[in-house]
């Protein structure tokens, strides 16, 4: 990227470092958001939708999709909390920064209230700021979406910094994985997490902070009678279990799932219901960082596209709102009390086909038997690159969309 000192105008190219892209394209991010808005509008309005929605983790991935479905599918006022970098010193902002500007612009044009708070959602300060905004602007919220994915958490009481790990538990794990940069399929070996790493991962990605948010909202009288809250989790197929479901992150997710029951119980006087929705594997900044997952997702995309059941964040969340939470529906829960919108991913026909390909996939046949190209395209789109109709040769202002 070349930016002149006086202006923020420059041509922006993707700069990929491993599983992250360190640049983001404002116009491309805006196009990506608009495509999701258009998808929701095409599906039609959602009946009995929530009116005032707080989304924690609202700037990218599943949280952004939740904001778009609430706003453009249900006409909700949305308050989004997230942690994103603003453009500075010739560097672009992060994708979530531009996504949010684009959401706010589109919401304003549609006459929808949208306010955003950029800061650490784990902190007492951001919780207080959010509550102040709710009280001032919208009174109470009737839906709280908890969609944080973070590698670390500064605990608000002790100020201790906890880090999460993506490691197995008990024994070393070896499996095929994909180096998405070099486009090479190779074996990875990951040593197990120790007890400290497991408990720290639970502190970061478990249910404590969700519960703290709900307690703070209750104490400030910011929840409507009968409000709903939903947090997102993942189960996935056996090939990913050692690193995901049975790994340190899986322990944190189990803790998050336990928190749903605790929240429902602690807010029963207000008739608040807390749900965990098990979502499908999609390409997001968070999932790109998990070993094994990009290869699994590339194979999954191939099979789901062949069966005409491919979904990204926006399709998933529209379905969650329209078929489970609202439109006169009562959520259909599994034996553990969770909403399952990973049903199409976990369909035995899909999983059997993926399992077969998993056994065969190698560097040589990667592009033929998997949808690595589709994975790559969606990865770049997360940062606003590769969207149709965007002129990537034109200089753009990095401070706005």
In the complex, which residues of this chain contact ligand NAD (CB under 6 A)?
Answer: 57-63, 81-84, 96, 120-122, 147-150, 232-234, 279, 281-282, 284-287
Least distance (Å) between residue 71 CB and ligand NAD: 15
Report the half-sphere exposure of 197 (CA within 13 A, side-chain side): 15
* Shorter beta-carbon distance to ligand NAD: residue 76 or 126: 126
Of 186, 159, 162, 190, nearest to 174 (Cα)? 190
- Residue 125: exposed, middle, or buried by beta-carbon count in 10 A (0-12, 13-18, 19+)? exposed
What is the three-class DSSP state of 26? helix
Beta bridge partners of 161: 154
* Shorter beta-carbon distance to ligand NAD: residue 65 or 193: 65
d(CA 306, CA 377): 17
d(CA 193, CA 198): 6
Cα 230 to Cα 79, 137, 314, 350, 356: the distances in Å are 15, 22, 16, 27, 34
The torsion angle over the Cα atoms of residues 149, 281, 357 and 184, rounded to 10 degrees, is: -30
* Shorter beta-carbon distance to ligand NAD: residue 28 or 61: 61
Residue in 98, 162, 244, 375 annotated catalytic: 244
Least distance (Å) between residue 241 CB and ligand NAD: 14
d(CA 366, CA 370): 6
Report the half-sphere exposure of 130 (CA within 13 A, side-chain side): 33
Least distance (Å) between residue 147 CB and ligand NAD: 4
Least distance (Å) between residue 312 CB and ligand NAD: 10
Least distance (Å) between residue 62 CB and ligand NAD: 4
- Tell me if residue 39 is catalytic: no
* Shorter beta-carbon distance to ligand NAD: residue 11 or 262: 262
Least distance (Å) between residue 150 CB and ligand NAD: 3
* Shorter beta-carbon distance to ligand NAD: residue 224 or 331: 331
Least distance (Å) between residue 52 CB and ligand NAD: 19
Nearest position to ligand NAD, beta carbon = 61
Rounded (10°) angle between helices 208-219 and 248-266 = 20
The angle subtended at Cα 205 by Cα 295 and Cα 245, nearest 5°, is 45
- Helix (H) / strand (E) containing 163: strand 161-163
d(CA 105, CA 381): 20
Of 264, 263, 284, 275, nearest to 231 (Cα)? 275
* Shorter beta-carbon distance to ligand NAD: residue 333 or 394: 333
| Phi, psi for 24 (deg, rounded to 5) | -145, 145
- Residue 89: exposed, middle, or buried by beta-carbon count in 10 A (0-12, 13-18, 19+)? exposed
Of 315, 368, 401, 358, nearest to 8 (Cα)? 401
Residues with Cβ within 8 Å of 253's Cβ and at least 6 positions away in sequence, in order, are 205, 206, 233, 234, 245
* Shorter beta-carbon distance to ligand NAD: residue 77 or 127: 127
Report the half-sphere exposure of 32 (CA within 13 A, side-chain side): 32
* Shorter beta-carbon distance to ligand NAD: residue 132 or 225: 132
Least distance (Å) between residue 142 CB and ligand NAD: 21
Active-site annotation, residues: 244
């Amino acid at each position: 990227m070349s930016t002149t000192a006086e202006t923020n105008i420059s041509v922006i190219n993707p700069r990929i470092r491993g599983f992250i892209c360190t640049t983001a394209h404002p116009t491309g991010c805006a196009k990506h958001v608009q495509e999701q808005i258009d998808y929701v509008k095409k599906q039609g309005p959602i009946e009995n939708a929530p009116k005032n929605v707080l989304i924690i983790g609202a700037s990218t991935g599943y949280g952004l999709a939740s904001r778009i479905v609430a706003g453009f599918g249900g006409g909700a006022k949305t308050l989004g909390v997230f942690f994103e970098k603003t453009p500075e010193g010739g560097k672009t902002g992060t994708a979530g920064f531009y996504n949010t500007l684009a959401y706010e612009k589109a919401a304003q044009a549609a006459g929808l209230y949208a306010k955003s708070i950029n800061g650490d959602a784990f902190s007492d300060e951001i919780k207080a700021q959010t509550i102040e905004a709710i009280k001032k602007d919208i009174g109470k919220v009737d839906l709280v979406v908890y969609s944080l994915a973070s590698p670390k958490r500064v605990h608000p009481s002790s100020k201790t910094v906890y880090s999460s790990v993506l490691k197995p538990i008990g024994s070393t794990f070896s499996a095929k994985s994909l180096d998405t940069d070099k486009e090479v399929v190779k074996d990875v070996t990951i040593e197990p997490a120790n007890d400290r790493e497991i408990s720290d991962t639970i502190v970061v990605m478990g249910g404590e902070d969700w519960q703290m948010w709900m307690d703070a909202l209750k104490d400030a009288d910011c929840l409507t009678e009968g409000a709903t809250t939903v947090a997102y989790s993942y189960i996935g197929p056996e090939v990913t279990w050692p690193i995901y479901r049975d790994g340190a992150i899986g322990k944190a997710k189990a803790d998050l799932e336990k928190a749903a029951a605790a929240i429902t119980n602690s807010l029963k006087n207000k008739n608040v219901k807390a749900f965990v929705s098990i979502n499908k594997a999609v390409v997001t900044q968070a999932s790109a960082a998990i070993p094994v997952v990009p290869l699994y997702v590339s194979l999954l995309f191939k099979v789901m596209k062949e069966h005409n059941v491919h979904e990204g964040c926006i399709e998933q969340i529209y379905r969650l709102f329209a078929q489970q939470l609202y439109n006169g529906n009562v959520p259909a829960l599994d034996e553990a009390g969770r909403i399952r919108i990973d049903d199409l991913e976990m369909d035995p026909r899909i999983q059997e086909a993926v399992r077969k390909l998993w056994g065969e996939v190698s560097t040589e046949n990667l592009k033929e038997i998997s949808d690595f190209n589709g994975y790559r395209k969606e990865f770049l789109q997360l940062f606003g690159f590769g969207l149709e109709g965007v002129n990537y040769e034109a200089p753009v202002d990095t401070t706005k969309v």
